[in-house]
Amino acid sequence: MRDWRRGPPSPLTGPSEVTPEDIVLAAARLSGLVRRTPLLDVSQPTQALGPGGPIFLKLESMQRSGSFKLRGALNAALTLDPRPTALVTASGGNHGAGLACAGAQVGLPVEVYVPKSTPPDKRARLVRLGARVHVTGEVWDDADAAAREATAAGEGAYVHPFADPAVIAGNGTVALEILADLPDVACVVIAVGGGGLIGGCARAIKAARPEAKVIGVEPRGAPTLSQSLAANALVTLPEITTRAGSLAPRRSAELNLKLARQFVDEVVLVSDEELEAGVAWLRSELGVAAELGGAASLAAVLSGRFVPPREGPTCLVICGAG
Q: Which fold has domain 20-68+166-318?
A: Rossmann fold (3.40.50)
pLDDT band at 16 (very low <50, low <70, confident <90, very high): very low
Its sign, for the CA torsion 189, 185, 76, 96, is positive
The CATH T-level fold of domain 69-162 is Rossmann fold (3.40.50)
pLDDT of amino acid 11: 37
Please tell me the distance from the alpha carbon of residue 238 to that of residue 244, in angstroms, as a whole number. 17
Contact 73, 102 (CB under 8 A): yes
* Cα 196 to the center of its chain, rounded Å: 5
Kindly give, in sequence order, each residue whose CB lies less than 8 Å from that of residue 58, ignoring residues fewer than 6 positions away.
37, 38, 39, 174, 177, 178, 315, 316, 317, 318
pLDDT class of 17 with cuts at 50, 70, 90 = confident
Report the amino acid identity of residue 4: W
pTM score, two decimals? 0.92
> What's the pLDDT score for residue 1?
53
Q: What is the pLDDT of residue 5?
A: 34
| pLDDT score at 12 | 30
* 236-274 exposure pattern, b = at least 16 Cβ within 10 A, e = fewer: ebeebebbbbbbbbbbbbbbbbebbeebbeebbbbebeb
Residue 317 to residue 299: CA distance in whole angstroms: 11
User: Residues for the chain: how many in total?
Assistant: 322
Share above pLDDT 90 across residues of the chain, in percent, rounded to a whole number:
84
Smallest CA-to-CA distance from 204 within 165, 177, 166 is with 177
Residue 132 CB neighbour total at 10 angstroms: 14
Q: What 8-state DSSP symbol labels residue 285?
A: I
Range 180-198 average pLDDT: 97
Q: Please give the pLDDT value at position 123.
A: 92
What pLDDT, in 10s, does the model give residues 202-216? 999 999 999 999 999
164 and 6 Cβ atoms separated by less than 8 Å? no
Mean pLDDT of the chain: 92
Q: Please tell me the distance from the alpha carbon of residue 227 to that of residue 97, in angstroms, as a whole number.
A: 28
Residue pair 30/24 in contact (Cβ under 8 Å)? The answer is no
CA 232 to centroid of chain Cα atoms: 22
Helix (H) or strand (E) holding 188: strand 187-191
Backbone φ and ψ of 6, nearest 5°: -75, -10
- The least confident of 7-16, 225-234, 265-274, 290-299 is 7-16
Domains 20-68+166-318 and 69-162 fall in the same CATH topology: yes
Q: Where are the domains of the chain?
A: 20-68+166-318, 69-162
Q: Is the pLDDT of residue 248 over 80?
A: yes
The pLDDT score that the predictor gives to residue 47 is: 58
pLDDT tens, position by position, 276-295: 999 999 999 999 999 999 99
